[in-house]
Structure 1
């Protein structure tokens, strides 16, 4: 199919089958890693070429056509089998365009509590075991019917997994978008083509190649900007401005770059000029230093005011990157074309005053799109931003993605703050006199402006750098970091008043923590004294430190900063910010947004919020610290006491609804009461959700004297959760699911439960299962002990003895009926006893059977489906030869077809009627055993 499509999509370029096959060989020879994946994307994007002999030149190669969806061929496969060397994987669903696998989807049953996590683990495994397939695939999705997540292949951290929430109308009569509509919107051919070619980015961050797929709000904003831009160049009276208001941490930079690239590539805009106006921090970042690597052609970087003027006077086309101050004193009408597009980053501070007037005067007919990551403040400055960019839209913006939306989507986490003890806090009178009372602070928009104010606040900054105070705070930070932050596996920022304060804090912190745990990152000054020069970093060393900080288990664990890294630096592992620098408005929001990135470690540790420890008192009055409408910042940052109250409320609920189940009962009877109470699946899952929330809050608050009255009851809730998970979810390793501080409780206080935990101290087998039947335990407890051990037996030995899988399926069916109260414990025990006896019989027979494990599995499957022993043995013996003659039937379509024919023949000869369905079931059983 790919051979046919290459010729069809490349007329006059690829004209013969051998040429198309040569292209495919190039695809198959790509590196099996993220570098190869980027090259595969370049093929899909149409960036690769092929030499045309008749024209004696290179021509672009087209593998898919996003402009004409009907010219492409779309296929979906179920149970996609792929052989990678000696390893074989079987993906649940794979989508192919023109024969190329582009999306891999893992599906789990809605009943699987950890379904999404299990599916994500499968995707990660595919990258390890079949990297040559994943080098071609560009996207993956995970679903268990309840939720639908997606992400980019080779971007496998939990923070890069997004909730697909398409903004489509719900079908008539339904309150929300149903699952079918959600899935159809995700894999709609036109959208898939657009996502593959326009909404994937590859970028290097601190030297490492990363892959990004845009989220729904980013795609939506891009399409809206393109629509407005097209209106502006085709209609004289159309709006020519717009404001994109996307909260910090929502990928604003990548949205800007995608819009710029789309404008440059779209033929409708007739070879335009696109200006990216960014701040110094962005300009200095590796991303903007190497935009060619993000998919742009030649980029013009304005080196000076004169250079920028020359570029505009010369009618330069393509991408120009500049800082706003280079427009200072720029002549009017430098470029009057209509197909000029100006994308202004951090518009709330970039275009204030005369600079904005010079910019717009120099480009009178351009389209201006402003981007901001913080709410528009209530001051005249903030209203001016709305007026400059949002005047053409009734609500003041072209597209908005609020802080609350980002928290709901999981693209950012909520923040909590804590005021440190009064004796460590900045002097209130000095703060009031030299910081809060200054008129120029109203609506302060960038760190440099803030620093100029602090330079004049001599009393305040000297007080903040008082050696005795610095020593006390360093001791506090070291203790807090050791007790609260490090045990959770996270890292921290210490934000000091200025560069000298950073040096002082490093010196003090090294007296309490190993020196390698912390590092100072400041900008270098030519005339710096020796105590500052010792903290100057080369570009390579700073890159190394920034990269190491992002990784768990590597030093440094604390960055000491004052200006650098407070905007643009993205380190999801950053959890805590020790704030000892007065800030407010946009600067404060941008700084604290460093800790709002979601994070999940490889062992399942989840960051559910960020923490700010306030040493200067800016959070004593949030209304004064953040000059924004309350609706725009509600839920951004709350006091830690909110979590304390929530924990107390949750414990009260637990004491009322759950803990009384233990009252007056001991050992087995208490266990039985808990298991009976939570037999109902919905009630059980509600308890799991309840426990997850209380555990996450405990993780944040512990250790704290506030928790002391709750510790014993919390420990009992932990035991109850552990008991239920061990009994009802045997496929989920229980202890691994605990967060770190709760896991310590389990290790210190765990008792042997009546529900057996997996132990490798004795051999599992029929004898052990029969012993469980005679234990002096309540019937409910015996049922779960048997189910638990049967599950372990199947998991451990199912590959070597495939017949166990069918026994495992029957055990799971007994579990389901028991949980749904279709049978009571006595009947469940009787059925399990029969199953164990069958198992014992099968165990003994296999030991003496001459049949291979595959043939014996066929015999036993038939016998458990009421086929007489003689007939079952006859079918198995006939299949023995087929298995020997067709050893590769699982990976060879021809061999599978021949084996299936042999199985049909054997079943018919034995007088069995349901040939096709039973053959499917038997072959699926054998495949599962081989995985």
Structure 2
């Protein structure tokens, strides 16, 4: 990244300033997969061939920003002679989302083709700008609209409408254009094949840039997805659902599905039975209050149709305050039944902004077709799914929950009332390894828990876990004398921590709570004060920290460092201690915790590094116990002296600049 040419490329083409909702100004720098995708598009266009390509980047990994950066670089490239760049979506909500991204970043020469006529006029008049539109606006195009060879088309979600008549009309209208497809869920079937529609023959495996599920989770671009089946006493006949689903969705758009009441009669009888709706809404309310609300997350309820939205809203209001939930759906003129929920684009966007605001009481959005694609709300963590979705539609829908949102959000959760879990694997059957990573069943996590606990406890064979305070921590640390062992334990505990956070507060955790709490305290006491180490030591999840704080005895986390430094007589007593090794370890633990509280302040960095160096030298036998103890006491004096010299205001100011580190500091008090 720091090669001069790449750095200049990043500054010129991959950095943007954006305004969030007309308020906060932020700087955006591209992730590496966006740089890779953009530069491959530009290289292909400049070379003149091949004239198409597929970019397969997983849902939530930033395809809208990729198109923004590509549009800017293409428009400014001198070799392309003022090209036209077109960004084509297939839904109005996606169109709005992409346009919002471009407008927020002050994209120059941007125009939005609002109607079919407007689009035809722009192309006929040979406009040289960035044009945002939908595939449907090519619907009435007849013949060629523009035959220039420096028209570059980027198609978002290149899988739903691109293999049919609309895709052909667009290609006929722009016969010499470059066509690049972007998708997180390509389709690989004989009748509809994204690879065939956009993949160049020269591209191995059919795509020019690939950023998979494992990549996005590893990089923190997205979160894992967990499934929690809730089928007991609520499950309906799966075969009947599949038969009804096949009928209700045959060749229909989302809007048309509401109009086929007679065909859907069997489905409605099954899914909208009053007792079933009542039971599910009661379960949703209970689950939301116990698992979602405490962490400040939002939720989405996905129902069969628009009538179901009303039924679920009415029932949820019996369990939760009415302002907690609202419905977002399409309402057409003359539909009195749904009139209360008819909103124009601005009103709907204001409602969604309220949902994104953690301080707003609106926490649950009820939908049927809207907001299942393109909707970006990182606060959304749980989806209550009671609608039969398949293939890419299913995967796109559940990925609404995978956006990162602070350190507390460890995963997106799908609560499944219809048994669609198996269809997730089908949706990406040609990418099975990714699917295995994408969807981990909550039941499977519960089965993994005892093994994960046991694996961590095996590091401390023979340790009396009833010992409290520093005696217990030191006994545990004696079992991990080397960096390799400590990092190995940290790795295993990180896995256990993720399982625990995903399951919490499920009753299945109760039998393991004492062991887990003990392991968590040991983990915190071992974490390096400098944040260094072969392994990236993670901060614990919010629920784990809360549990530790509720249960840790005061003497476990007491800190008498000041007393040690100030009391000369005590110092003599300490140095003459019958067990200097034990006393040194106790002071080492205290110093580690004390320095981590100041990790946001660079003045303490040298002291933290000094501590790690002392511990390393002692571990390697360079410092004997009594010498190690003396050095630790000298370091403790310097720590206390610096604390007295550093104004409280300075510490607080630095804390505001790095709030995530303050949280980590508070976890070890």
Please give the range of the TM-score, normalised by the shorter of the 2 chains: 0.7 to 0.9
- CA–CA distance in structure 1, aligned partners of residues 586 and 433 of structure 2: 53
Which of 136, 143, 147 is equivalent to 1:325?
136
Equivalent residue, structure 2, for 1:193: 8
Q: Residue by residue, what CA displacement relative to the aligned partner does 1:251-284 show, whole Å, maximum 9, x if unpaired?
A: 1112122222222222211222222222233465
- CA–CA distance in structure 2, aligned partners of residues 812 and 331 of structure 1: 73
Shift of 1:460: 0.9
Which of 190, 208, 216 is equivalent to 2:32?
216
Equivalent residue, structure 2, for 1:660: 462
Correspondence 1:509 to 2:319: no
Correspondence 1:567 to 2:567: no
Alpha-carbon spacing, 1:569–1:203, altered in 2? closer, same or farther (3 Å): farther
- CA–CA distance in structure 2, aligned partners of residues 772 and 569 of structure 1: 65
Which of 322, 327, 330 is equivalent to 1:520?
327
Correspondence 1:464 to 2:279: no
Q: Rg: which structure is higher?
A: 1
Alpha-carbon spacing, 1:740–1:404, altered in 2? closer, same or farther (3 Å): closer
Which of 188, 199, 205 is equivalent to 1:390?
199
- CA–CA distance in structure 2, aligned partners of residues 795 and 624 of structure 1: 47
Q: Residue by residue, what CA displacement relative to the aligned partner does 1:881-915 show, whole Å, maximum 9, x if unpaired?
A: xxxxxxxxxxxxxxxxxxxxxxxxxxxxxxxxxxx
Equivalent residue, structure 2, for 1:474: 281
Q: Residue by residue, what CA displacement relative to the aligned partner does 1:103-128 show, whole Å, maximum 9, x if unpaired?
A: xxxxxxxxxxxxxxxxxxxxxxxxxx
Equivalent residue, structure 1, for 2:118: 307
Shift of 1:463: 3.1
- CA–CA distance in structure 2, aligned partners of residues 663 and 290 of structure 1: 54
- Contact (CA 8 Å) 1:274, 1:341: kept in 2 or not? yes
- Equivalent residue of 1:479, what SS? helix
Equivalent residue, structure 1, for 2:651: none
- CA–CA distance in structure 2, aligned partners of residues 379 and 451 of structure 1: 29
- Contact (CA 8 Å) 1:773, 1:833: kept in 2 or not? no
Alpha-carbon spacing, 1:223–1:305, altered in 2? closer, same or farther (3 Å): same
Alpha-carbon spacing, 1:780–1:661, altered in 2? closer, same or farther (3 Å): same
Equivalent residue, structure 2, for 1:748: 550
Equivalent residue, structure 1, for 2:650: none
Correspondence 1:825 to 2:625: yes
- Equivalent residue of 2:478, what SS? helix
- Contact (CA 8 Å) 2:328, 2:348: kept in 1 or not? yes
Question: Superposed, which structure 2 residues align to 1:525-604 within 5 Å?
Answer: 525-530=332-337, 532-537=338-343, 539-600=345-406
Which of 406, 409, 420 is equivalent to 2:230?
420
Shift of 1:590: 0.8
Which of 662, 678, 682 is equivalent to 2:484?
682
- CA–CA distance in structure 1, aligned partners of residues 610 and 20 of structure 2: 51
Which of 227, 230, 238 is equivalent to 2:46?
230
Equivalent residue, structure 2, for 1:73: none
Alpha-carbon spacing, 1:805–1:268, altered in 2? closer, same or farther (3 Å): closer
Question: Superposed, which structure 2 residues align to 1:61-100 within 5 Å?
Answer: none
- Contact (CA 8 Å) 2:455, 2:492: kept in 1 or not? no
- CA–CA distance in structure 1, aligned partners of residues 270 and 107 of structure 2: 49
Correspondence 1:243 to 2:54: yes
Which of 574, 587, 603 is equivalent to 1:786?
587
- Contact (CA 8 Å) 2:408, 2:542: kept in 1 or not? no
- Equivalent residue of 1:571, what SS? coil
TM-score normalized by structure 1? 0.61
- CA–CA distance in structure 1, aligned partners of residues 514 and 54 of structure 2: 53
Structure with the bigger RCO (C-alpha within 8 Å, sep 6+) is: 2
Q: Residue by residue, what CA displacement relative to the aligned partner does 1:147-186 show, whole Å, maximum 9, x if unpaired?
A: xxxxxxxxxxxxxxxxxxxxxxxxxxxxxxxxxxxxxxx2
- Equivalent residue of 1:276, what SS? strand
Q: Residue by residue, what CA displacement relative to the aligned partner does 1:552-592 show, whole Å, maximum 9, x if unpaired?
A: 35422222222222222222222111101110111111111
Alpha-carbon spacing, 1:693–1:839, altered in 2? closer, same or farther (3 Å): closer
Q: RMSD in angstroms over aligned alpha carbons?
A: 3.8
Pick which of 808-817 and 386-395 moved more. 808-817
- CA–CA distance in structure 1, aligned partners of residues 515 and 318 of structure 2: 39
Shift of 1:598: 2.0
Aligned length: 632
- CA–CA distance in structure 2, aligned partners of residues 358 and 796 of structure 1: 63
- CA–CA distance in structure 1, aligned partners of residues 4 and 10 of structure 2: 10
Equivalent residue, structure 1, for 2:574: 773
User: Structure 1: which 5+ runs fail to align?
Assistant: 1-185, 233-237, 844-852, 855-931
Shift of 1:431: 0.4
Alpha-carbon spacing, 1:775–1:447, altered in 2? closer, same or farther (3 Å): farther
TM-score normalized by structure 2? 0.84
Shift of 1:479: 0.9
Alpha-carbon spacing, 1:694–1:775, altered in 2? closer, same or farther (3 Å): farther
Equivalent residue, structure 2, for 1:404: 214
- Equivalent residue of 1:349, what SS? coil
Question: Superposed, which structure 2 residues align to 1:702-851 within 5 Å?
Answer: 702-725=504-527, 729=529, 737-753=539-555, 756-758=557-559, 765-767=566-568, 770=571, 773=574, 778-787=579-588, 814-829=614-629
- Contact (CA 8 Å) 1:244, 1:371: kept in 2 or not? yes
- Contact (CA 8 Å) 1:435, 1:454: kept in 2 or not? no
Shift of 1:790: 6.3
Alpha-carbon spacing, 1:685–1:455, altered in 2? closer, same or farther (3 Å): farther
Which of 484, 503, 518 is equivalent to 1:701?
503
Pick which of 452-461 and 484-493 moved more. 452-461
Correspondence 1:375 to 2:186: yes
- CA–CA distance in structure 2, aligned partners of residues 590 and 620 of structure 1: 15
- CA–CA distance in structure 2, aligned partners of residues 307 and 664 of structure 1: 75
- Contact (CA 8 Å) 1:492, 1:574: kept in 2 or not? yes
- Equivalent residue of 2:159, what SS? helix
